[in-house]
Amino acid sequence: MSSKSAASLRSPLGRARGYGSAKEGVQTYLAERISAVALVPLALWFVFSVAQLPMLSYPAVRHWAEAPSVAVMLSLFLAVLFYHSSLGVKVVVEDYVAGEGKKLVMLLFVKFAHAALAAAGIFAVLKIALGAP
């Protein structure tokens, strides 16, 4: 009975066109949450590692960043951070930017900016670690 009434709620045209759920989006939903789970230890590690550094001392910060384990953690942190950030900012743009043209431009800008910042950050980390004497 219930399945029959549920089926009848859908218009024949809608069914014919395959309307209904978008059939996608689960991947994005999971990606946002999986990256969030990964960021819990990574962000805590970052905050409390940097807090222990004499931030204004170039040799001390440099020495810290040159350690292979730190370089790996920093690269991971940056990669997951920018991935998570791009997913989050995308949703904010989709929610608040009105007009398809403006929205498209903003989405492209957000995507490119995230990619550029992630590349610059990870390259800097690798340059420090690989350039270490």
Contacts with another protein, residue ranges (CB under 8 A): 33, 36-37, 39-40, 43-44, 47-48, 51-52, 55-56, 58, 61-62, 65, 74, 78, 81-82, 85, 88-89, 92, 95-96, 98-100, 117, 120-121, 123-125, 127-128, 131
- Report the sign of the C-alpha dihedral through residues 93, 124, 80, 25, in that order: positive
Q: Smallest Cα–Cα separation from 86: which of 9, 128, 31?
A: 31
Residue positions counted in the chain:
133
Pick the closer one to another protein by CB: 21 or 86: 86
Nearer CB in complex with another protein: 24/100: 100
CB neighbourhood size of 92 (10 A): 11
- Measure CA 14 to chain center: 34
Least separation in angstroms between residue 14's CB and another protein is: 11
Q: Which is nearer to another protein, 1 or 32 (CB)?
A: 32
Q: At its nearest, how many Å lie between another protein and the CB of residue 65?
A: 6
Q: Which is nearer to another protein, 24 or 95 (by Cβ)?
A: 95
Cβ-based burial of 107 (10 A; exposed 0-12, middle 13-18, buried ≥19): middle
